[in-house]
Chain A
Amino acid sequence: MEGLKKYKAHMERCSRCSICKWLPITVVKGWRFAQNCPAIMKYNFHAYSGGGKIIAALGLLEGKYDITEKFVDVVYQCSLCGACDLACKIYTRELIEPLEILEALRREMFMEGRVPERHKRMVEDVRKHGNPYAEPKGRRGEWARGLEIGKEGKPEVLYFAGCTPSYRLPSVARNTIRVLKKAGVSFAILGEEETCCGSTLHKIGAEEAFKEQAKKNVEILDRLGAKVMVTQCAGCYRMFKVVYPEVVRMNVEVLHISEYVERLLEEGKIKFAKEVPLKVTWHDPCHLGRLAEPRPKWEGRWEKIYGHVIISEPRKKVVYGTGGVYEPPRRILRAIPGLSFVEMWRIKEYSFCCAAGGGVRAAYPDLAHFGARERLEEARATGAEALVTSCPFCELNFLEVVEEGGWEMKVMDLSELILEAMGEAPEGLEVRR
């Protein structure tokens, strides 16, 4: 746990206020949708909260106990969504920074080999197959069949599909491509060459394996000379936009499809001609929102002023996630004629994580489905007919729960609505197994 020790002073500052379990207090609007953490909502013991994990790790550092199976669960039954981090930092700014600590904890756990078995397999799968689903590399580009994607010329945009659209939700990639095509955008795809962005590897603490993926992907981007990369996967977006620059040099502008479509709308290349009479609500994926704000590297020291006031010098920029991608999808939804858009209670930087990410869906599917159920309940409570988002991993999670039955709720990818508003019939979301 050497890598965790440098955080000890920060960890010790947890006052156990439990604010990490709640939305920022000022935005709480009622009893029902006031909590922010799927893990503690499901498991209830304090250890499952952001602060609780920190205290659990502190006990370990101080030699009060060893790593148990339960400790592994506590660490990994968590999507590392950062909701606890936001809530805490409002009061503690740079004094604690839970997400940084929890990420460091995972790296240490991985180095010690104390991770769920499923995660160890996942690293192997990504290394061998280029995706965490252990699907054949050769089949990665199959989703694009029949879409007549040109291969000549210098494309404006490189489209990055991501593992989940490639292997599980091909309609997402297909709809997105059709949007780009109809807008007259010249773009390229990577097909079989595309490899996993490494999001899950990064989140489970498999630092080396993640860096390998980062290097691979950046090499491909550099080789192709891509200037703009567009993806509709929130997870991939975050990796390329926020995390890769922390470990490699990036020479490409990374955009989410909503940012790009917004641009195309402004340029008049996309027009919403058809009415889409539907009441929808929007799920802000963690990786597109709260976790999509770049974290400036900080190198400095800690000082005390006015007696014992602890301060970073130079002042460390505290990232609250307000710089994520929130307005573009909203502007798109509001621009679609006939569409009625209603917000949930947990939105933007304080959005509720569906709990699929961070390795949870693979190792703890119950927790992933718990998170999805909670979010679907919230969507239902708005009176919306459809829950729309732009993260295929969230969509996969939601769909699996909806399939269980009892939900009068459609799960939709943003590209479906864009395409429909453009006058084309989209393919509905369907899980390919």
Chain B
Amino acid sequence: MPLDRRVYEELEAVVGPENISDDPCILAGYSYYWGAAYAMAGKPLGKWTPFPDAVVLPGSAEEVQQVVKICNKYGVKFKAHSTGWGPWAAVSQKGAILLDLRRMNRIIEIDEKNMYAVVEPYVTAMQLRAEAMKRGLMCHVIGAGPNTSVLASCTSGWGIGATAYTTSHNNRNMLAVEWVTPTGELVRIGSPGSGAGWFCGSGPGPDLKGIFKGYSGAVGGLGVFTKCAVKLYPWPGPTEPKVVGEAPMYGYEIPENCRLYLALFPNWESLNEAMYKIADAKIGFSFWRSCSAECLALLMASLTGLDFSEVYKTLPEVIGDARLQIFLASPSAKELEYEEKVLRAIVKEAGGELRNVAEEPLLSAVKELLFAALVFQNYMALGFSLTGDFFTSFGAELCPDRAIKAIPLAIEVRKKYVEKGLIVMDGKENIWGGPQEHNRFYHWEAAFEYDPADKRSLEAAAELVEESERAALKHRLGVTINASTSPQLAEVLSPHYSNYVEWVRRIKRKFDPKNLSDHGYYVTP
């Protein structure tokens, strides 16, 4: 529905006529996303989401504040949006405006010494990472990939990624934050509130970030975050990775002081045991499992033109199921040697095999590509390349012994869908995940691909998701990825998990009494 002209004009006066539009072809760009099977949060099956009434492009926190104040003045719902890769980036219902924060794309500062950066919403991880690497540092990159907003995964989304063993989770990496609250207050949480700089987001007293971010965030339901300080990590890898190969398979040369391995275990239990031991030994940079061997085979065959059946048959034999990608790197040759020795011993003790990718016949030919894919996560969007859509399940951050329970459940749930040809046959499971912070907590997520253009496949996908959520709840595997953006599903989980939704609802009501900041993927107010 068209936005009230008065509101439009007031917004236009703030951002300028070129930075506001209510033309439907412009609005469409914010209303179409992957995740057709995501039928939670009131969104129907399919890729279209409700159109906003208008889109504004604010250029600064002050403009954001003015926009939010206008929304408050007229009772107009609003939703913040940055790189926007997922249905939860859309407005959840008609009658809302969308704030596209694309113009707010600066890296405000990088404090190399104290290892943090301050960024605006539209700084992507690929950009921050490139700048950080020049300084011998690395930022955490979430599993969706480097084309995503750093700030969004800190303040509003999730935060897990493949180097989490070292670079943790963006719930943890978020330091001070600048926030335009739903009622239009522009505040700075943490040390900048005391004029002390951006190094700490906790205090004075309690850490207010706990209000808007937990395992996930409010996904646009608690105002707009306009700046975020984020931790950086010492990076022993290349400061300016050398690109090798050509499109579509660009890779990075693996420097001398870096090692990429696959560790193959006889089963998931022994992988889990090994991970505990590795963490006790305090070695390694990252440990991760990207996908099933079958999925990798399908991707490789589709990209390279190799024979599908050949690769599909061979690759699983070579790389198995219970597998970890391991990255070791150090500026110290002695440390690298030590870590490799310990890693080898632990993997052996767990009944596994450690394979150096650079020395493996099949893998060494693509080792640079694997480096770019497995450590840098540059190819995560390949998840869409088989059918055009995928979806996921499970995925809470849990104690490793608890998290691993997701695997047999995922295998069990997906079986019949694969057998009936309703989803892609990418193995018994297509599990993605790994340890965080030296295996303190773990992430296991089960993905699958389906064709949203095929009604049966689409419906099956939605069913599979629901079954997975039921299984996750039955086995008390926490608030999953899907539950964290579905207020409806959250209501089902809540009584089992300390009535958490009730608290979140209170937060929402207290901070957004008029319910103007889009609640649709956050909580029913």
Instruction: Spell out A's residues near B (CB within 8 Å).
Output: 9, 12-19, 22, 24-31, 34, 43-47, 49, 52, 55-56, 58-60, 64-65, 68, 70-71, 74, 86, 89-93, 95-96, 304-311, 315, 318, 320-322, 349-350
Name the distance in Å between B25's Cβ and chain A's nearest Cβ: 4
Q: Is B462 in the interface zone, CB < 8 Å from A?
A: no
Q: Is B251 in the interface zone, CB < 8 Å from A?
A: yes
6 shortest interchain CB distances as A-B pairs: A13-B388, A46-B29, A15-B34, A65-B24, A320-B247, A26-B250
With contacts A45-B26, A65-B24, A91-B381 taken as known, whether A29 is within 8 angstroms of B124 at the C-beta atoms is no
Name the distance in Å between B63's Cβ and chain A's nearest Cβ: 13
Q: Is B382 in the interface zone, CB < 8 Å from A?
A: yes
A-B contact pairs, 26 of them (CB 8 A): A12-B453, A16-B84, A17-B85, A22-B126, A26-B251, A28-B126, A34-B126, A34-B130, A46-B100, A56-B28, A59-B25, A59-B28, A71-B25, A89-B247, A90-B248, A91-B248, A91-B384, A92-B381, A93-B302, A307-B423, A308-B386, A308-B387, A308-B454, A309-B298, A311-B302, A349-B247
Q: Which of B30, B130, B418 contacts A46 (CB 8 A)?
A: B30
With contacts A19-B381, A25-B146, A52-B29 taken as known, whether A310 is within 8 angstroms of B386 at the C-beta atoms is yes
CA distance A59 to B32 in the complex (A): 9
Q: Which of A43, A59, A321 contacts B247 (CB 8 A)?
A: A321
| Inter-chain contacts of B308 with A (CB < 8 A) | 305-306, 311
| Inter-chain contacts of A350 with B (CB < 8 A) | 247
CA distance A311 to B305 in the complex (A): 11
Name the distance in Å between B376's Cβ and chain A's nearest Cβ: 7
Of B179-187, B350-358, B444-452, the one touching chain A = B444-452
Q: Which of B21, B248, B387, B450 contacts A89 (CB 8 A)?
A: B248
With contacts A28-B130, A306-B308 taken as known, whether A45 is within 8 angstroms of B381 at the C-beta atoms is no
Q: Is B19 in the interface zone, CB < 8 Å from A?
A: yes
- Determine if A64 and B424 form an interchain contact, defined as CB atoms under 8 angstroms apart: no
Q: Is B518 in the interface zone, CB < 8 Å from A?
A: no
Name the residue on B nearest A27 (C-beta): B243
With contacts A26-B252, A93-B302, A308-B451 taken as known, whether A44 is within 8 angstroms of B32 at the C-beta atoms is no
Interface residues on B, range: 35 or more
- Determine if B25 and A70 form an interchain contact, defined as CB atoms under 8 angstroms apart: yes
Residue-wise interface mask of B (14-31) relative to A, using a CB-CB cutoff of 8 A (1 in contact, 0 not)? 000011010111101111
- Determine if A29 and B85 form an interchain contact, defined as CB atoms under 8 angstroms apart: no
Name the residue on A nearest B369 (C-beta): A26
Q: Which of B33, B147, B376, B387 contacts A309 (CB 8 A)?
A: B387
Q: Name, among A55, A92, A309, the residue most crowded by chain B CB atoms within 10 Å (CB to CB).
A: A309
Q: Which of B29, B312, B385, B457 contacts A308 (CB 8 A)?
A: B457
Q: Is B344 in the interface zone, CB < 8 Å from A?
A: no
CA distance A349 to B249 in the complex (A): 13
- Determine if A30 and B127 form an interchain contact, defined as CB atoms under 8 angstroms apart: yes
- Determine if A31 and B28 form an interchain contact, defined as CB atoms under 8 angstroms apart: no
- Determine if A64 and B130 form an interchain contact, defined as CB atoms under 8 angstroms apart: no
With contacts A306-B308, A322-B246 taken as known, whether A71 is within 8 angstroms of B23 at the C-beta atoms is yes
| Inter-chain contacts of B23 with A (CB < 8 A) | 68, 70-71
Q: Name, among A28, A46, A311, the residue most crowded by chain B CB atoms within 10 Å (CB to CB).
A: A46
Name the residue on A nearest B461 (C-beta): A308
CA distance A349 to B449 in the complex (A): 30
CA distance A13 to B387 in the complex (A): 8
Residue-wise interface mask of B (357-393) relative to A, using a CB-CB cutoff of 8 A (1 in contact, 0 not)? 0000000000000001000101101101111110000
| Inter-chain contacts of B28 with A (CB < 8 A) | 47, 55-56, 58-59, 64-65
| Inter-chain contacts of A318 with B (CB < 8 A) | 248
Q: Is B131 in the interface zone, CB < 8 Å from A?
A: yes
CA distance A376 to B463 in the complex (A): 53
- Determine if B107 and A31 form an interchain contact, defined as CB atoms under 8 angstroms apart: yes
Q: Is B348 in the interface zone, CB < 8 Å from A?
A: no
CA distance A16 to B87 in the complex (A): 10
Q: Which of B100, B126, B131, B423 contacts A45 (CB 8 A)?
A: B100
Q: Which of A24, A65, A306 contacts B25 (CB 8 A)?
A: A65
CA distance A86 to B387 in the complex (A): 19
With contacts A44-B57, A86-B247, A308-B451 taken as known, whether A60 is within 8 angstroms of B25 at the C-beta atoms is yes
Q: Is B240 in the interface zone, CB < 8 Å from A?
A: yes
CA distance A18 to B378 in the complex (A): 14
With contacts A15-B384, A31-B127 taken as known, whether A93 is within 8 angstroms of B84 at the C-beta atoms is no
Q: Which of B18, B47, B127, B376 contacts A34 (CB 8 A)?
A: B127
- Determine if A55 and B378 form an interchain contact, defined as CB atoms under 8 angstroms apart: no
Name the residue on A nearest B451 (C-beta): A308
- Determine if B26 and A70 form an interchain contact, defined as CB atoms under 8 angstroms apart: yes
CA distance A320 to B247 in the complex (A): 6
- Determine if B24 and A64 form an interchain contact, defined as CB atoms under 8 angstroms apart: yes
With contacts A308-B454, A349-B247 taken as known, whether A29 is within 8 angstroms of B26 at the C-beta atoms is no
- Determine if B421 and A93 form an interchain contact, defined as CB atoms under 8 angstroms apart: no
- Determine if A91 and B128 form an interchain contact, defined as CB atoms under 8 angstroms apart: no
- Determine if A68 and B25 form an interchain contact, defined as CB atoms under 8 angstroms apart: yes
Name the distance in Å between A176's Cβ and chain B's nearest Cβ: 30
Q: Is B134 in the interface zone, CB < 8 Å from A?
A: yes
Name the residue on B nearest A92 (C-beta): B385
Q: Is B55 in the interface zone, CB < 8 Å from A?
A: yes
| Inter-chain contacts of A308 with B (CB < 8 A) | 386-387, 421, 423-424, 449-451, 454, 457
Q: Name, among A43, A59, A306, A311, the residue most crowded by chain B CB atoms within 10 Å (CB to CB).
A: A306
Q: Which of A45, A65, A86 contacts B21 (CB 8 A)?
A: A45
Name the residue on B nearest A60 (C-beta): B25
Name the distance in Å between A208's Cβ and chain B's nearest Cβ: 26
Name the residue on B nearest A94 (C-beta): B302
CA distance A414 to B302 in the complex (A): 40
Q: Is B178 in the interface zone, CB < 8 Å from A?
A: no
- Determine if B25 and A93 form an interchain contact, defined as CB atoms under 8 angstroms apart: no
Name the distance in Å between B291's Cβ and chain A's nearest Cβ: 14
Q: Is B505 in the interface zone, CB < 8 Å from A?
A: no
- Determine if B25 and A13 form an interchain contact, defined as CB atoms under 8 angstroms apart: no
CA distance A257 to B131 in the complex (A): 38
- Determine if A26 and B372 form an interchain contact, defined as CB atoms under 8 angstroms apart: yes
Name the residue on B nearest A32 (C-beta): B127
CA distance A92 to B382 in the complex (A): 7
Q: Is B97 in the interface zone, CB < 8 Å from A?
A: no
Q: Is B102 in the interface zone, CB < 8 Å from A?
A: yes
Q: Is B422 in the interface zone, CB < 8 Å from A?
A: yes
Task: List CB contacts (< 8 Å) of B99-145 with chain A.
Answer: 100, 102-103, 107, 123-124, 126-128, 130-131, 134, 145
| Inter-chain contacts of A93 with B (CB < 8 A) | 248, 302-303, 385
| Inter-chain contacts of B243 with A (CB < 8 A) | 26-27
CA distance A129 to B200 in the complex (A): 68
Q: A49-B29, A59-B32, A315-B305 are in contact. List 8 more A-B contacts (CB 8 A).
A: A9-B453, A12-B388, A12-B452, A12-B453, A13-B384, A16-B32, A17-B384, A30-B127
- Determine if A310 and B387 form an interchain contact, defined as CB atoms under 8 angstroms apart: yes
Q: Is B191 in the interface zone, CB < 8 Å from A?
A: no
CA distance A320 to B23 in the complex (A): 33
| Inter-chain contacts of B25 with A (CB < 8 A) | 47, 56, 59-60, 65, 68, 70-71, 74
